[in-house]
Structure 1
Amino acid sequence: MTISTTSTIAADAADAMPPLYGLKVLDFTRVLAGPFCTAMLADAGAEVIKVEPFEGDDYRQMGLQVDGHSANFAFVNRGKRSVRLNLKQAGARDVIARLAGWADVVIENFKPGVADRLGIGYGALSALNPGLVYCSISGFGQSGPWAEQPAYDTVIQALSGLMDVTGDPAGAPTLVGESVADVAAGMFASWGVMAALWQRERTGRGRYLDVAMYDCLLSMMPTLVSRVMAGAPATRQGNRHANSAPFGAFHAADGLFVLAVANNRLFAKLAEVLGQPALASAPEFATNQDRKRQEAALARLIEDWASALPVQEAVRRLTEAGVPAAPVLSVAATVASDNAQARGLVVRQRPASGPAMCHVEQPVRFDAMPRGQTSAAPALGADTLAVLEALGFDAGAVNAMQQQGVI
């Protein structure tokens, strides 16, 4: 049984077909981590059916509202179809059974145990379809002493150690300015799904995947964790680097710029730009470790040089000399930058109803596959009737479900 979808990309040439064309994903996720995962799959051509409660995904009411529509929801629910279904009604079981039989992949991000109580857990659905790849995303995983704790991104950042190492060394721990634990879990979940699908090609059997936001964030801290495990402390560095100098943010006449000098060759180039080539042969700056010990002195030299220069001029001189450098841009500035525009990173769409919204597609570019084709996020329940018809429910059955409060 095939359910057509606008999230796939029409193309005559086989090599322009999206890589996940034909993959069917049943999406029980909400808010950010799970929807980020399924949006990535939709970007690559998967058909994603998002099952929502009567009130809809909580994310529809969260974040910046534009004419009554959530910009956050639109960003991470692109390319999906929405089915409004009351999972607590007995009449929903037949719908779920047919969707489970249709799907290749199921993804949910309820608190551990909730999916089982709703009758959509791995045990129930894999019994109907042994080939299912079933992925559960949660804060701390399905087992362990923290498994039952409620988790938001802030909680994960705090417990992972990431918050402790972020911020000014003289100040308090600081949150990263994005929901990195949610996003990390979504990315690793999509990776895990692909690995399990490849294994299914050889075995014919599905798999159960347990993805924890906490685990994912910790795995994205290689320099910090390896440092601690080697016996050294992981501490806040502010706008400096733990191992290299000069490396980080510096003041120019009208703002901040960054530079990155991680070896002797780059330090020699920096010394030339500063007009002090002798620095490269000075014994106190001979090695990266020496320069790290002299970090404060180097910062003064750099900021003395940059104090009379606008940021753009300081960056121009550094980059022309081959020293990695850049201005510190706002999010608005980077979205509007020539590079973001040339790469087509931000996609603006107007859905069938509601204001124009934007999203950034998954970043991997597949040769010959056009970008910017993923459909806009759906209205709540917009595809319920079409999906039920495709699943084989006749008008009488659909009417009965409406009367019973199932759909």
Structure 2
Amino acid sequence: MALPLHGVRVLELTDGFGDTAGRFLADLGAEVVRVELPGGSPSRSAHPVRNGVSVPFALRNANKLGVTLDLEEDEGRDRLRALARRSDILLESFPPGFLAARGVGTADLCRANPALVAVSITGFGQDGPYRDWAATEPVLYALSGVLSRSGEPGEQPLLPPDGLIDESVGVHTAWSALLAYFDRLHTGRGQTVDISAFEVIVHGFDPGFGVQGSAAAGRSEDFPRGRPDAANFYPVYRCGDGQVRICLLAKRQWRAMFEWLGEPEEFADPTYDTIPARFAASARLNPLIEQLFSTYTRDELVVEGAARGIPIGGLNTVSEVLTTEHFDAAGTFVDTEISPGVTARVPSGYAKVDGQRAGVRMRAPELGEHNDTVFGSDIDGAHDPIPALQREPGGRPFEGLRVLDMGVVVFGAELGRQFADNGADVIKIENSNFPDGLRQSKRGAALAASVAWGHRNRRSLGLNLRSPEGIRIFKRLAAEADIVLANFKPGTLASMGLSYDELAAINPRIIVSESSAFGSVGPWNKRLGYGPLVRAACGVSALWRYSDTTDALCDGSTVYPDHIAGQVTATTILATLIHRLRTGRGAAIEVAQADTAIVQLGSQLVAEHLDPGSIGAPGNSDPYSAPSGVYPCGGDDEWCVVTVRDDTDWARLCGVVGRPDLADDPRFATAELRIDHRAEADEVLTEWLLRHTPTEAMETLQAAGIPAGAMIRLPELLTNPQLIARGAYTELEHELLPAPLPTAKQVAHFATLPDWPLRQAPLAGQQTREICERVLGLSTVEIDSLVRDGVLQPPADDPALSPVPSTV
């Protein structure tokens, strides 16, 4: 089939944040024209560089056409306006005001083409006190609260691997662009969209005030200083040929581990069936497990664990990921040209549509490579309109769509919420015998906060899909639905008679999205899909530690990549909805969480392929610039991230710290020399930082144009001046919660789309009767009978569940 965005035209003027959005849209089939200024984009020299090629640039600009325009000249500006008139979506990441000062700002281009969706991507957004600040990945990790949860207790906080933020911002940008474009198809009106990378990471990467998994440590004020002791949530053990990680979450998993250990008497007490008890006893328990594992290889442990029902996964280094049999079989990588004459093994792409990988098809363009092709064509040429029912602007884009949501835990909640928040009727299918893991993490409250955050704006249908009648009811719903969401083990829907082919035979317009840990193809397709095992298998965990020689991994308190994989899937579904407007047919979509992680680590993987042994865990030392890293400030456990990008930043820094003489010091004359003398450069910066609070240091350095970010803890997000100015938070109430929860109003800022509604999350099965009556047209007698038979599962106070009074 044609890729879903075939025929959609994207005009891209990005460098840094936003490049990856254009790449994702191009992967999905859009024609993306990348515009560069004379001399080329600075990102063409971004590290790592191999064989003279910037690996990040090559990956993030594949599948695009490339042209050059001089926006200081009338001809260049006229050509840009002409390109905008033929385009559907504009992506731009210039500093606020740069394009407007030249008469080609987003407002100007939208006047030239009122149907244009114009998306601006900057570090902190188009307004607010941080508007003109410099943003790097480390700065955003610090300011978003991610850094404060990363690292070992008693040690300095640790920066997560490079690349995850750029890619995550790109995914959210692609989603936001398509959301506004989908709205335009139904209203005829384009709009501007303002995306702040800061807000994307705060709300969308691993949100402190959003859906949480089992690794919620450090998300509250319980850890005001130091990093949470999270290593033993998903402990890592040495074995015969490396390391493995285990996830003992369910009681049955622990009981299997207990039996494998020989049922040691000291752990026989039922108290150890709980995660907190095992965590508290880790100093005694871990040596027993490590001794057992020492006689096995990684592969043997994985096989034995699977046989016993214990989730175990091997820890792969970056080099091992490239040669893993499963990823070869799954088509996760492809060997392709990334620059003229340079071939590499690269991640192939995020998703599959109808079995076809939406991924790399052609290399990134050389500077101006497609000038003749683009400017020599009918640049103002119209293209076939996409038919869509029309409505007035200002509504929710997905009004009228129905989603049957079988998704569970963090990924499932995040995916379904994207559609519920934007107007779809999302019906969450729940079975009381197998409750969603989020509903089981109440921690003593009447309702888990994650349920309130993740299940809002939905309706809940209690339905036993393990009964033939339950399957029949689901198929009746699917006959009139638009989308089905599931993240079970591969093959589960087919085993229930609910595969895409079976549902499409009932409803050719249906879109069925299935997601799993490692995908449906390859030897790992049936592995248990916990995020910590995905991170370990894909190289994320190996890079998320202080050095290659330490056993301690520092990713224990994150739920990456669940939120981002959910957003990847939502974006792919939305692209398919757009395609369905043309064709009237749905599609089968598959996203493996492992593919999300591997695409986002693409630069390290490709650099390692081209130069084996060159990529390892860098800790907090940027291998390509100095001084750069995480530095102590005045106070207890206070830190600031600083990035000196180039010679200009170094000269500015010397002035800020009162050492102008060092600007001409031959030890620091170039980036390479500063890296060679990293310790001396760090000492200069640290001496100054220790005399300031992180906020003072950040504000002073940013005022001088130097990227810097204070490490803030989660509660401080609610008082951050930039987030307050941007209206980033509101409050979410639920009758079962003792107090309102802080929650995001939106991630992107749309000119015409409304903020998300905040209808409270349903109890399990709360709308069962309502849905059966109004959607299926069942009578009260039919519903009562199905309830008594256990097919329908309304709440416990349903009248059909009340005892029938006896008669005398």
Bigger mean CA offset, 66-75 vs 337-346: 337-346
Bigger mean CA offset, 15-24 vs 251-260: 15-24
Q: How big is the shift at 1:337?
A: 2.1
Bigger mean CA offset, 224-233 vs 98-107: 224-233
1:6-405 aligned at under 5 Å gives the runs 14-55=392-433, 56-62=435-441, 65=443, 67-169=445-547, 171=550, 172-175=552-555, 177-231=557-611, 233-254=614-635, 255-355=638-738, 356-360=740-744, 363-390=747-774, 391-405=776-790
Q: How big is the shift at 1:126?
A: 1.6
Structure 2 Cα separation of the partners of residues 252 and 383 of structure 1: 53
Structure 2 Cα separation of the partners of residues 312 and 392 of structure 1: 60
Secondary structure of the residue aligned to 1:209 is strand
Q: Judge conservation of contact 2:728–2:746 (CA < 8 Å) in 1.
A: no
Cα deviation per residue 1:113-144 (whole Å; 9 max; x = unaligned)?
A: 22222232222212111111111010001111
Secondary structure of the residue aligned to 2:639 is strand
Structure 2 Cα separation of the partners of residues 112 and 250 of structure 1: 45
Q: Judge conservation of contact 2:422–2:756 (CA < 8 Å) in 1.
A: no
Q: How big is the shift at 1:47?
A: 1.8
Q: Judge conservation of contact 1:79–1:377 (CA < 8 Å) in 2.
A: yes
Q: Judge conservation of contact 1:241–1:247 (CA < 8 Å) in 2.
A: yes
Q: How big is the shift at 1:249?
A: 0.9
Q: Which has the larger radius of gyration?
A: 2
Structure 2 Cα separation of the partners of residues 332 and 66 of structure 1: 21
Structure 2 Cα separation of the partners of residues 47 and 288 of structure 1: 54
Q: Judge conservation of contact 1:28–1:51 (CA < 8 Å) in 2.
A: yes
The code of the aligned residue for 1:22 comes to G
Secondary structure of the residue aligned to 1:210 is strand
Q: Judge conservation of contact 1:34–1:137 (CA < 8 Å) in 2.
A: no
Secondary structure of the residue aligned to 1:146 is coil
Q: How big is the shift at 1:253?
A: 1.8
Bigger mean CA offset, 277-286 vs 329-338: 277-286
Q: How big is the shift at 1:179?
A: 0.7
Higher relative contact order (CA 8 A, sep 6+): 1
Structure 1 Cα separation of the partners of residues 664 and 610 of structure 2: 32
Structure 1 Cα separation of the partners of residues 623 and 463 of structure 2: 51
Structure 2 Cα separation of the partners of residues 206 and 334 of structure 1: 41
Bigger mean CA offset, 357-366 vs 299-308: 357-366
Bigger mean CA offset, 260-269 vs 174-183: 174-183
| Identity across matched positions, percent | 29
Structure 2 Cα separation of the partners of residues 288 and 198 of structure 1: 47
Secondary structure of the residue aligned to 1:379 is coil
Secondary structure of the residue aligned to 1:91 is helix
Secondary structure of the residue aligned to 1:14 is coil
Alpha-carbon distance change, 375 to 34 in structure 1, aligned in 2, over 3 angstroms: same
User: Under a length normalisation based on structure 2, what TM-score does the superposition of the two structures give?
Assistant: 0.47
Bigger mean CA offset, 197-206 vs 187-196: 197-206
Q: How big is the shift at 1:33?
A: 0.9
Q: Judge conservation of contact 1:75–1:360 (CA < 8 Å) in 2.
A: no
The code of the aligned residue for 2:438 comes to Y
Bigger mean CA offset, 255-264 vs 234-243: 234-243
User: Under a length normalisation based on structure 1, what TM-score does the superposition of the two structures give?
Assistant: 0.91
Structure 1 Cα separation of the partners of residues 693 and 438 of structure 2: 42
Cα deviation per residue 1:34-67 (whole Å; 9 max; x = unaligned)?
A: 22111122222222110000243221012x5363
Bigger mean CA offset, 242-251 vs 283-292: 283-292
Q: How big is the shift at 1:151?
A: 1.7
Secondary structure of the residue aligned to 2:590 is strand
Aligned residue number for residue 376 of structure 2: none
Structure 1 Cα separation of the partners of residues 716 and 706 of structure 2: 22
Q: How big is the shift at 1:370?
A: 2.9
Structure 1 Cα separation of the partners of residues 400 and 719 of structure 2: 35
Alpha-carbon distance change, 369 to 113 in structure 1, aligned in 2, over 3 angstroms: same
Q: Judge conservation of contact 1:351–1:378 (CA < 8 Å) in 2.
A: no
Q: How big is the shift at 1:328?
A: 0.5
Q: Judge conservation of contact 2:456–2:758 (CA < 8 Å) in 1.
A: yes
Name structure 1 gaps, 5 residues minimum.
Answer: 1-12
The code of the aligned residue for 1:247 comes to S
Cα deviation per residue 1:6-45 (whole Å; 9 max; x = unaligned)?
A: xxxxxxx932212222222110111111221111222222
Q: How big is the shift at 1:354?
A: 4.4
Q: How big is the shift at 1:367?
A: 1.4
Secondary structure of the residue aligned to 2:526 is coil
Structure 1 Cα separation of the partners of residues 732 and 692 of structure 2: 41
The code of the aligned residue for 1:403 comes to R
Alpha-carbon distance change, 158 to 317 in structure 1, aligned in 2, over 3 angstroms: same
Secondary structure of the residue aligned to 2:580 is helix
Cα deviation per residue 1:337-384 (whole Å; 9 max; x = unaligned)?
A: 233333333332223554444433551222133324232211111111
Secondary structure of the residue aligned to 2:788 is helix
Structure 1 Cα separation of the partners of residues 623 and 416 of structure 2: 36
